[in-house]
Structures are given as structure tokens and as C-alpha cells.
Amino acid sequence: MNPKKIILYSSVFAIQGLSNAAIPVLPELAGEGNSSPAVSSLLYSGYFIGAFLTLLPFGILADRIGNLKVASLGITLTVISGLFISLSDNLWILGISRFVEGLGCGAFFPAAFSMIVEWEDSQRSMGEFNFLLNAGLAAGVFFSGMLAEAGIKTAISIFTILAGFSFVLLLPEARGLVSSGSPGRKKEKTGTSNRKRATGKRPGNSTNFGPAGNLEKFRKAFSESGLWKIWGISVLLYGATGILTANYADYSADFLTKPELGLAIAASYVAAMLSSLAAGRTGADYQKIVRAGLVLAATGVLLSAKAPLLAFFLIGAGGGAAIIGLVTAVSRISSSGFTMGIFNTGIYAGLGLVPVFGSLLIELLGYETVFLGSSLVLLMMLFIKLE
């Protein structure tokens, strides 16, 4: 296997496992006297807000200095944040560490996506990458719930160690990059990464890295290319599921134990693993894949009040399929780190910002009303036509 594949695949498992290990124990991490939907949502969203704010800047940086270098920075920040979360009980340090963990995510994903979509087997590789992404998410919530009685941070510490192993795997490649002094993307497009380009204008591949140039690139990529539709679907899809995930620990406190909660949330990632592989190997049009994902996710959110295990399974299946279709749609516009950064901001805007506003609505309207509204919003996205 290509060494870069090994690095990306092992890293995404550890990064996502660590990010999700906090979810089943959010009330306990917040500490006695601080457990509320708002505090839990802030701890949950700190990670995604950090990612949201840095995905685009790090995507631009990846185009300039090289994808692998920026991905390496993401892995390093993940290890550092995991150590602080494992060792501290201070609410402020935990919140800042979750934010720094999000910075690591912001560095890793635009660079990783940009590398993968350049490969000859890009759709298949993206399915495998998303399979391991969701495997990490599933393992994070599952082991966090199962090991909560041994210590609420046991799973967090385990995934911090795994991230450290990924960092060690990266060192030989990192030394090669430093010694060669290669600054950009050209070297990374060797081997499996020599993907044939589509013809036509590809917004976001310009080498003008000044503020004015980036603003113009953003305008063209976001508005003229139709990327805004893909971005909007990403915000609403992951925002709706993020509201549910962030608040389900509090909502289900009276009828689910911690292991049961971890199992239910893990089911969503197992489903996403399976649907990612299936979508990566199917010959279906990317628009059909996205629509199927939206229907599955909306059905899952709708069922969350009555059938948690089935609900999370459907949500995961929908999200896993949709992401393959959405990334394929983005790659038709551009494969640059800049464009992938714009796309990923949509995912993390949904995961990071929407749950915060959703928690405010929950206090006014109640859990089930907000969950129902989220499902209806997802179904409305079926009327958006991707080009």
C-alpha cells in the first residue's frame, strides 16, 4: 500500500476516535454543577468550532506548502490536545483543548481530502477513508461508554496513545519532506496520485495566495461553481445530526445507560462505515447518492424519540452515503486544498454551530419538537438540485 495511504488511514481512525470519545461522558466532563444542555453542547461544539474556523486557512496553506506537511500539523495538534484532556479536569482547559483538537482536524482534513481526490482510485479510496473515519468515531463512543465505569477518560487516553502511534508513522515521511524542501503539491501527485484531470475551468487552483486573490477564488468557487449548494446541504445535514448527538446524552438519561448510549451512537458509525464502502463502489450518480443519504438521515432523526438504536443506524447510513456523493460533487469543481477547505467548513459549521443554537431551541421548545423540525429540514434539501 502507498505509504501516504497508511498515514492517512491510521491517522483518521485515531483523530476521529479521540474526538468522539468525549461524547458519552460530556455531562461528567463538564463536572458536577455544570451539567446542562448548554455546557454539554459547548464542550461538544468546541472541537467543531475550532475546525470550522481553520479548515479554509489550512486548506490554503496546504496548497502553498504541501498537503502532507499540513496533515502532519493536524496530527501533532491532536496528540497535544488529547494529552491535556486526559490530564486536566479544569473546565476551561478542557474547552480550550477541545478547540485545539478542532484546529488539528482543520489542518488534517482539507489536506487529506485533497490528496485522496488526486488518486486514480479516488472514489474507492474515499470510501475506504470514510470507512476508517467512521470506524474511529464508532470505536470512540463505544469504548467511552463501555469503559466509563473504569474512568470517564479511559477511552480518551487510549485514543491519545493511538494518535501518538500515527504521529510516529508520520516521522519518516516528515523528515523526507523537510530534507527535500519540497514546498507544494507537485511531489505529492506521484505514484497513486496521478489522477486524470477533468477538462474545463477548475476554480480554486490558482497560485495567487494573496488576500485579494483568495477572496476572488472564494467568490468563484462558492458562487459561480454552485459550491454553495453543496455547502448548504453539508451544514444542514451535519447540523441536524449534530443537534441530536450533542443532546442525546441528556435527553436519554432516564431510559438509556451509558453503555447503551455508547452502543446506540456507535451503531451510527458502523452504518456509516458500511454505507461509505457501498457508495464508494457503486456506479450510481452522485446526486442520487446524496438524496438517498438525506432520506435515511431524516428518517433516523424522526425515529430518535422511540427507537434509538435504529435511529442512529439510519442517521449513520445516511451521513456515510451522503459524504461520498458530496465529495464527488466537490471534486468536479476542484480538488485543491482551498476548495476542500471550503467544503469542510460546511460540515463543521453544521457540527459546531448548529448544535449551540439547537440547544437554545431545546430549552424553549423541548427535545422532541427540535428533533422533528430537524428531520423536516433534511427532507426539504431533496428539492435542491446539484449540478
pLDDT tens-digit map of 205-224: 444 545 555 566 666 666 65
Q: Is residue 19 part of a domain?
A: yes
Q: In this model, does residue 263 exceed pLDDT 50?
A: yes
Sign of torsion over alpha carbons 80, 82, 83, 89: positive
**Does the residue 198 lie in any domain?**
no
Other C-beta atoms within 10 Å of 181: how many?
Answer: 6
What amino acid is encoded at 386 in this protein? L
Question: Per-residue pLDDT averaged across 9-33, rounded?
Answer: 83
Task: Judge whether 334 lies within some domain.
Answer: yes
**According to the model, what pLDDT value does residue 202 have?**
43
Mean pLDDT of 284-303: 91
Domain count, the chain: 1
pLDDT over threshold 50, residue 170: yes
Query: What share of the chain has pLDDT > 70, as a percent?
Result: 83
- List the CATH number of the domain containing 375: 1.20.1250.20
Q: Residues, the chain, total?
A: 387
Helical spans, DSSP H, in 220-257? 227-251
* 319-358 per-position pLDDT tens digit: 999 999 898 888 888 778 888 888 888 887 887 788 888 8
Count Cβ neighbours within 10 Å for each residue of 91-121 and write b for 16 or more, e otherwise.
eeebbbbbbbbbbbbbbbbbbbbbbbbbbee
**Cα-Cα end-to-end distance for the chain:** 34
Cell of 110: 482539507
At residue 83 the predicted structure's pLDDT band, cuts being 50, 70 and 90, is very high
pLDDT of 230 strictly over 50: yes
**Nearest-CA neighbor of 82 among 93, 69, 91?**
93
What 3-state DSSP class applies to 190? coil
Q: Give me the domain span that covers residue 53.
A: 3-178+219-383
Residue 186 lies in a domain: no
DSSP letters spanning 292-336:
HHHHHHHHHHHHTTT-HHHHHHHHHHHHHHHHHHHHHHHHTT--S
- Residue 151, pLDDT above cutoff 90: no
Distance between CA atoms of residues 244 and 312, nearest Å: 9
pLDDT band at 145 (very low <50, low <70, confident <90, very high): confident
Domain membership of residue 128 (yes or no) is yes
Decide if 205 is inside a domain.
Answer: no
What pLDDT, on the 0 to 100 scale, is given for residue 185?
Answer: 47
Q: Label residue 195 by pLDDT band (50, 70, 90).
A: very low
Please report the pLDDT score of residue 203 as a whole number. 43
Q: How confident is the model at residue 99 (pLDDT cuts 50, 70, 90)?
A: very high
pLDDT-based confidence at 199, cuts 50/70/90? very low
pLDDT at 94: 87
